Amino acid sequence: MNHLFIGNKNYSSWSLRPWLLLREKGIPFSETRIPLYQEDSERALLQHSPSGKVPAFVHHGFTVWDSLAICEYIADIYPEKKCWPEAVDARGFARSISNEMHSGFFAIRNNLPMNCRTKMQFKDITEELSYEIARICEIWRTCRERFPAAGDFLFGPFSIADAMYAPVVLRFQSYGISVGTAEQDYMAAVLSLDGLQSWIAAAIAEREVITDAEIEAYG
Ligand SMILES: N[C@@H](CCC(=O)N[C@@H](CS)C(=O)NCC(=O)O)C(=O)O
């Protein structure tokens, strides 16, 4: 009834977002992994996703694509799962930061590619990268201060906003990005999720290597 098409678990940060939402909200789904940047990838992607990109989600034969649209659709079809915070101001804030992630942070996305197998001290922190890291830390701190609902996540209970930022948590961990105490606590909460741990284990077990997403340890 629910099927998610995803890319390589090691590299596909957009795939992780709806996958983690489904897992953490206990929504049953099956999945197909399409390894990216291989000879047959383009054909396989276009067969299941109109954009030719993953993730794509199929619900009773109806296809929705693009990570945030999929998360919104899941929130619509499972209102009881409370995928967004309930209070209207918290929900507005959660949507703003989720869209900010979806449409921005290009320095982080380009310079610190998600790679669950990597653990290094990344030293080449440009001004642009440093600005984006500081902005993410500000977002996480502000959420915890302004919306101190019960729970360890940005708005208390796990929400779409956390799914959108989970790949950033992985990147900060992989590249040894230093953050403040509140941000460390938030990262620890995300990293302790069973769903995320099982994604990481599957990512580490994958054999494909996408050279462009492999950063040399330097500095
Ligand atoms: N805006 C899209 C981005 C999707 C995207 O770029 N997916 C990558 C994998 S993480 C992809 O399918 N790449 C394959 C390709 O471009 O050929 C989303 O949020 O889902």
Q: Is 163 in the pocket of ligand 1 (CB under 6 A)?
A: no
Q: How far apart are CA 52 and CA 46, in angstroms?
A: 4
The overall average pLDDT reported for the chain is 96
pLDDT score of 219 more than 80: no
The predicted structure's pLDDT at residue 125: 94
pLDDT score of 113 more than 90: yes
Beta bridge mates, 2? 59
Dihedral of CA atoms 22, 27, 29, 32 in degrees, nearest 10, equals 10
Residue bearing the CA closest to ligand 1, atom 15: 53
Q: How far apart are CA 52 and CA 44, in angstroms?
A: 8
**Which residue out of 4, 6, 9, 14 has the highest number of ligand 1 atoms within 8 Å of its CB and is therefore the one to mutate?**
14
At 48-77, the pLDDT tens digits run 999 999 999 999 999 999 999 999 999 999
At 142-197, the pLDDT tens digits run 999 999 889 999 999 999 999 999 999 999 999 999 999 999 999 999 999 999 99
Q: Is 98 in the pocket of ligand 1 (CB under 6 A)?
A: no
Average pLDDT estimate for 127-156: 96
Q: How far apart are CA 168 and CA 136, in angstroms?
A: 9
Q: What domains appear along the chain, each with residue ranges and CATH number?
A: 2-81 (3.40.30.10), 88-201 (1.20.1050.10)
Residue bearing the CA closest to ligand 1, atom 14: 53
